[in-house]
Chains A and B, each alone.
Chain A
Amino acid sequence: MTRLLDSALWFFLVPMGVSLVGTIVVEETVALFMGFRRGRDLIAVAAVNLVTNPFVVWAAYLSVFLLFRAVGALGNAALLWLLVPVVVALELCAVLAEWLLLRWALKTGSRATLKLSFVMNATSFAAGLVAGAVWALLAFPR
């Protein structure tokens, strides 16, 4: 049981927390730049991230597990390339969910919230790529 909690904490929950905090910081910054500056706008942006980000990370973990079980024999590189469309699809689901939730909560323009959701997610995804690359370089030096 202790080993399970230890594994869950370090391999799943800590990365999930880092991803959530990083995403909220990046997306709040983007929202500020895009003119969503009221307190309730910023609370709504943080709240939609609390709803979507942990589920996206969880779905990515689940995909890794299921893909490994199904086609693990193909090797890690093949597994990685199979993961790319899965991750892109998950990001598109996050854009859609955040757009609908922001439009519902802020009762504001559909086009503005769609643009906000798309730009926020594109920026945080790009920031996540860079952060992941830096982390991989530091953690797995060649």
Chain B
Amino acid sequence: MGITRRALAFLAATTGFVIAASSVARANLILPYPFLLSPIVEPNRAAEVQAAQGWYYAASIALTFGVSLAFAVVGASLLWAVKRKTRPSAPESYDESNR
């Protein structure tokens, strides 16, 4: 079996396992959504508190975008350095060696 098919099989098996475990545990384990939503989903809070939490969430997303941008700049400069030091190889050289 090729490595791509093995990766697909692994992904399918893992997803199936997590969905099955999710129903056994009677909890939603596919995504840790209570964690993602916890800053904005607190139904018993007053409307103005919920609005403030929404604002925190929006501001945090903006801050996170800035951090992502900083990581991307570091990654891009590393890639540029790799590109400069790499000579072009035969178009499918890795394919040949992996057969």
Contacts and interface: CB of A to CB of B under 8 A. Distances in A.
Interface in B77-99: 78-83, 85-95, 97-98
A50 B68 CA distance: 8
A115 B30 contact: no
A130 B14 CA distance: 7
Give the most central of B58, B67, B68, B98: most A CB within 10 Å: B68
A94 interface: no
A113 B98 CA distance: 12
Contact of B95 (A7, A69, A112): A112
Contacts of A84: 30-31
Give the most central of B8, B14, B27: most A CB within 10 Å: B14
B35 A139 contact: yes
A54 B40 contact: no
A108 B64 contact: no
Secondary structure dominating the interface of A? helix
A119 B7 contact: yes
A18 B19 CA distance: 23
Secondary structure dominating the interface of B? helix
A51 B60 CA distance: 20
A37 to B, nearest CB: 10
A11 B95 contact: no
B27 A83 contact: no
Contacts of A72: 41
B22 A133 contact: yes
A64 B37 CA distance: 7
6 contacts: A13-B64, A54-B71, A58-B61, A105-B80, A108-B89, A129-B18
Interface of A: 3-4, 7-8, 11-13, 15-16, 20, 34-36, 40, 43-44, 46-51, 53-55, 57-58, 60-62, 64-65, 68-69, 72, 76-77, 79-80, 83-84, 87, 101, 104-113, 115, 118-119, 122-123, 125-127, 129-130, 132-133, 135-137, 139-140, 142
Interface of B: 3-4, 7-8, 10-11, 14-15, 17-18, 21-22, 25-41, 54, 56-61, 63-65, 67-68, 71-72, 74-76, 78-83, 85-95, 97-98
